[in-house]
Structure formats: structure tokens, C-alpha cells
Chains A and B, each alone.
Chain A
Amino acid sequence: MSGYSVTEASPRQKTIAAVLVMTYTLITLMPLVWIIATGFKTPADAISYPPKVIFEPTLEGYVNLFTTRTRVTQEQLQAMGPPQTWYDAIVRQYDMVIAGPSRYGERFLNSVIIGFGSTFLSVFLGTLAAYAFSRFKVPLKDDLLFFILSTRMMPPIAVAIPIFLMYRTLGLSDTHLGMILLYTAVNLSLSVWLLKGFIDEIPREYEEAALIDGYTRFQAFVKVVLPQASTGIAATAVFCLIFAWNEYAFAVLLTSGTAQTAPPFIPTIIGVGGQDWPAVAAGATLFLLPVMVFTILLRKHLLRGITFGAVRK
């Protein structure tokens, strides 16, 4: 006879849990699957009704994403001879030729610079501040911590107009530096609070042992505290990156050219030559990748990081 256990789930409970988790996973994955699939459809397939689940994949969306194209007449097409490359061939089906690269690459690179730059800065400053708050007697510590947190008590976009005016005056509008500083400022409160929690969990004795072993405070911080905080730092970095990477409102407002990130750029693709949903979907798919890869790389740290300190070892 199977015993009744208070800690172990019964087979039936496990089945129910599995079904719930799988259902939830399917629901959350649906839009992603749809976006990725749309990226490989032709524009006609993308808007066909009823929606096509089985379709012939094409790289048209990706070609359109990375290029600008101009329409040419049949005579001109014939005069040009056969297409030189596979993507030329795709474009010519629509009586068009490639005029040059699109701005997607640049915008994507902007996202990388601004996203990773602000993440690095948020985590770097956050770690130093969190260590100080955790270890030293800081005058008005509690008030300062509350003040830092209070920047999160409204949606960041609520201060959009003052920031817009400030940036215009300072010449920071549409610059990489401006966007890095802005995202760092928004993320810093999260980073300080998260990291303070992680550093609080690291017993002071480790640093004290290092101090006694002949190391300076800074050496103890770098050699003993940082390795122990790596889990927390990784988790914090993921959160900061996800925010900075996906941020849309400020990016729309403050960038238009040189520093424009991918999120405000991707919707503009739609206007180029009709409703090109596959190109938009392709842009979104590629845009998802870096954060996905980053999160998967740090997954082990992340899982431990989120539950860190919840249970005493």
C-alpha cells in the first residue's frame, strides 16, 4: 500500500502539475511560434485567411528586412540579365531590385551597444553601491535606500517630458551615451536593491578573513565578495538587460537617427512597400535572440539567483 506523504506529491498531483505547466508553456509560446513562423512566410501567406499553419518557408522576410528595394520595369529587368545571388532572385519575383542595405543592422547594433552598455554600468555601479550599503555605516542609509527605490514608484515614462527637455538642452538626445545613461538610471535602483540582498547574504567573515590574511578592503571585495556574488550579479544583469533591450517608449521619444534602437525601428519596416509582415516578424525574431542566448547562458546562475537566500543551506 502506498503511504501517504506530506512532503512528496502524489502521482495524481504530479500529473495535474505537469498538465498545468505544459498548458501554460503552450499558451506563452504560441505568440513566439507565430512570430517565428510568420518570418518565414510570404506576405500573401502571412495575411491569408484562414491562417496557414503549413506553408512553404521562404527567406523573403529576412531579405526584405535587411535590404531596401526599388521597383523596376520588365524591360529594365530583362536588360539586367539573370540574378547574381539567391536574394536577388527572391526580390526580382516582385519586379524589384535591391537598392542597398536597410538600417536594421545599424539599429540592432545600437540596441547591442546601449543594452549591454547600460547593463554593464548598472551592474557595476549597483554592485559598488550595494556593497557599501550592505557593509558600511552610511549616514541616512535607510532613507537613501528608500529614495533609490522611490524612483521605481512611478512608470519611468511619467518623467518623459522633463527628460526630453533636459536631454535636448544637454545635447544627449539621440546619442548612445544619452540612452546608456538613461537606462542605467532606470535600472540602478533595481540593481542596488537586488544586489544588496545578495551581498547581505554573504557572511562578513569571508572578507574579515581576507583582511586578516593581509589583503586590503578592495582586494577582499574583488577576490572574495565578487566570486560569491556572481550568482546575484548574473541574475541582476539579466533583469537589467531585458529592460534595456525591450524598452520602447523612451527610445521612440529620444532617438530617431544615429542612436535609434531596434524596438522603435521594427514597426517602421511595415511602411516600406506595403504591409510587409514577414519582414517585421523576421526583425522581431532576430531581436529576440540575444536576450534569449544571454538568459540561457546564465540560466544556472539565474535559477539559483532568484531563489538565493530563500532557504538557509
Chain B
Amino acid sequence: MAEIAIRDLRKEFGAFTAVKSSTFTIGDGEFFMLLGPSGCGKTTTLRMIAGLELPSGGEIRIDGEDVANRPASQRDIAFVFQMFALYPHMNVRRNIAYPLASQGMPRDQIRARVDEVARILGISNMLDRPVGGLSGGDRQRVALGRAIVRQPKAFLMDEPLGALDAEFREHMAEELRALHDRIGATTVYVTHDQLEAMQMGDKIVVMNHGVVEQFGLPQDIYDWPATMFVADFIGSPAMNFLPFNGTVTPGAESVSLDGISVRVPMQRAAASGRLVLGVRPEHVTLDDAAPYRGRVEAAEYLGTTQIVTLDTAQGSLKARIPSSRAVRVGEHVGLAFTPGTLTLFDADNGQALLSEGNERVLAHG
């Protein structure tokens, strides 16, 4: 097991920059998520860690050793591919045994290890079957088996659940997490699914256009996004953005939206011009006494909660409120925002303004 440290890692394909100077550290035994939309550089980053792609610059340290220019075969890591990449001309047993065979391990030892791994994954009964006829989930298990049989320093997974049915994905996600907790191996997991990332990850890196937008604990990233991109990408529905023109000075505890004062966490920096107030849907409450007003456009019933879409002076806004509160389309309501949860952004560069609330999270990132 190992710690993986990424320093100023870059990758250019000709004129196209896939990954811009990225730095983050994956702790020993962590389940680490690389999250971002397609084309954001997350897979390229993972492939550089694996040694399938050579970086244009920067360091990749596995257990303190710089492996950036080593071939994949010398890095002692395992990789689980999205399409599984099981060797189609071999049966299940040979697939799982293949990495051990390359190390020249004696046959009886290989057999014992494969049997043990098959038992952990519950695929002992299919060891002699060809991989062609297996279901998606079983293929996934065989791919995992091939990865864990070697007891490598780290597991790298490229959207391993992407090829599975939605129904089965949930189940496999739990299985994966349980497997990780059991063997405690450092795992780097690439996904574009923010729910999957929050559900499974110990830590998350959010990437966009080859840039690391934010790096931290799932809850910190959700509560205190560093950029508007992260705020928008994580959470469903996404964070509401209420644009306004104004000035913020250090120590300010409220901003003015068209003359209506809204309380925000105490600000640490100065900013002025085009600003954005970010508020999560669950931090909006309907309060007839509140001065900030909106008109109900639609309501989506979700069981215990409902998502209400409102039209405000700052544009459309979604609120997640208990289903027990009856709303009528066309109704005018007052809207209150939970003060300690709000984030202000600079609309020009998308960065969050430092405040009492997010300084703990953003200071180190």
C-alpha cells in the first residue's frame, strides 16, 4: 500500500493541453475520486499515474519514489478498465492468474492465490468458464480479481461501473467500497458521476478543462465549493446562482440584492463589481415574512421533499423543501436563505470569495 503524490503534473497532446499543472496527494489507503465532466483530464491523469501515458512534465511519486518516466510494468499498480479488458482468449482463472504469471510465481502458489481471490469475490464457481459468456457484473468481478490478486501498491480504476446497468451499479459500488475497506488499498477512482464520487470517496479531486478545481473531503467540497464550476457540478439540483452587482469589504456580514439585505458568513476579502450569491436548494426556505420574494413556477414531488422552481428578480431558483408544505403554481412567496451556508463568487473568474465559512476548507487548497 502506498501514498501517491502528484506534483505539477502536466500533459500536452500537441497543441492541446489535457492536464495543466496539477498537484494533489492521495493518502495511504485512501479511496480517492477523480471527478469531472468528460474531457476534463481525469482519465489522462489516471493513465499517467498508471504509466500508460507519459507526462509532459511534473512528478508522480508512489511511496516517495518518482515513477513518472517508468513503464507501467515496473510501477506495481493495478488498473481496472471501464470495458474490463479481460483477455478474451483466456478463461476466468487464467485472466486472474495472468499478472502473477508475469512475475514467474510457481504454479501451485498462483493456484492458491487465484482461489483465495475468487472466494473473496464470490466467483469460485466460474473459474473455468470463458470470459465471453459472463454477465457485466461477473466480468467486473473478474477484472477486480485480476487487480487484487497481485496485492499491488495501488488500484487505479477508470469508471469501472460505467459499463454496468444502473440497477447493478449501485450494488457493485457498495461491493467495491466494502472490498476497499477490507483490503485497505490505496485506490484512485475516475468518475464523472458526482453522486458516485460522494457516495464512495474518502477524498475527491474535481477537475475541469485540465485544471484541478478543488481537492478535499466530499462534504467540504459540497458545502464550500471553491469555484462556481464545482458548485454547479456537484449536487443535484445544482447550487443556485443569484447574480448581482455590489461591493464586499472584509468583515462584511451581508450583501444587498437589489436593495434587499441578505446575511452571509463574515467575509475575509474585498471584492466589487459582478458578484454571485451561491445557495444550495436545501438552504432555501419559504418564509412569508422574508423580504426576498419569488413566484412559484413548478414543483417536482420527490417523496419526502419536493423541488420548487421559483422565479425571482435574479432569475430562476430551485428550493428543496419538505413535501408537507403545499405550494401552488403562480403563488408569490417570501424566500429565506440559511445564513451560515452561503458562498459568494466573483462572477468574472468564478472563484469563491474567502469567508468565515469556507476559509478552513479553501485556505490549503
Contacts and interface: CB of A to CB of B under 8 A. Distances in A.
A135 B88 CA distance: 19
Contacts of B99: 212-214
Contacts of A228: 88-89
Given A203-B83, A205-B83, A206-B87, A211 B52 contact: yes
B359 to A, nearest CB: 41
A27 B356 CA distance: 90
Contacts of B98: 210, 213
A221 to B, nearest CB: 13
B73 A209 contact: no
B89 A208 contact: no
Interface in B83-122: 83, 85-89, 98-99, 102-103
Contacts of A224: 87
Contacts of B78: 212
Given A214-B99, A214-B103, A215-B102, A209 B87 contact: yes
B146 interface: yes
B129 to A, nearest CB: 18
Contact of B79 (A203, A209, A216): A209
Contact of A209 (B51, B85, B89, B103): B85
B77 interface: yes
Interface string A194-209: 0000000001011011
Contacts of B291: none
A211 B73 contact: yes
A82 interface: no
A208 B98 CA distance: 13
Interface residues on A, range: 10 to 19
Contacts of A208: 50, 52, 72, 79, 81, 85
A219 B71 CA distance: 14
A171 interface: no
Contacts of B89: 227-228
Interface in B227-285: none
Which of B51, B79, B103, B146 has the largest count of A CB atoms less than 10 A from its CB?
A: B79
Dominant secondary structure at the A interface = helix
Contacts of B146: 209, 213
Given A227-B89, A228-B89, A212 B79 contact: yes
Nearest to B14: A137
A213 B102 contact: yes
Contacts of A203: 83, 85
Taking each of A212, A213, A214, A228, which has the highest tally of chain B beta carbons within 10 Å of its own beta carbon? A212
Contacts of B87: 206, 209-210, 224
A129 B72 CA distance: 24
A205 B102 contact: no
A206 B89 CA distance: 11
Interface string B312-345: 0000000000000000000000000000000000
A209 to B, nearest CB: 4
Contacts of A206: 85, 87-88
A210 B99 CA distance: 8
Contact of A214 (B52, B85, B86, B102): B102
A224 B52 CA distance: 16
A138 to B, nearest CB: 15
A212 B50 contact: yes
Contacts of A219: 102
A203 B83 CA distance: 9
Contact of A212 (B72, B83, B86, B88): B72
Contacts of A227: 89
Nearest to B71: A211
Contacts of B71: 211, 216
A192 to B, nearest CB: 24
Nearest to B81: A205
Interface string B51-62: 110000000000
Nearest to B78: A212
B192 to A, nearest CB: 18
A185 B102 CA distance: 37
A211 to B, nearest CB: 4
- The 4 residue pairs across chains A and B that have the minimum distance between CB atoms: A205-B85, A214-B102, A213-B99, A209-B85
11 contacts: A203-B85, A205-B81, A208-B72, A212-B50, A212-B78, A213-B99, A213-B102, A213-B146, A214-B103, A224-B87, A227-B89
Interface of A: 203, 205-206, 208-216, 219, 224, 227-228
Interface of B: 50-52, 71-73, 77-79, 81, 83, 85-89, 98-99, 102-103, 146, 150
Given A208-B79, A214-B102, 18 more contacts: A203-B85, A206-B87, A206-B88, A208-B52, A208-B72, A208-B85, A209-B86, A211-B52, A211-B71, A212-B99, A213-B73, A213-B98, A213-B102, A214-B103, A215-B73, A216-B71, A216-B73, A219-B102
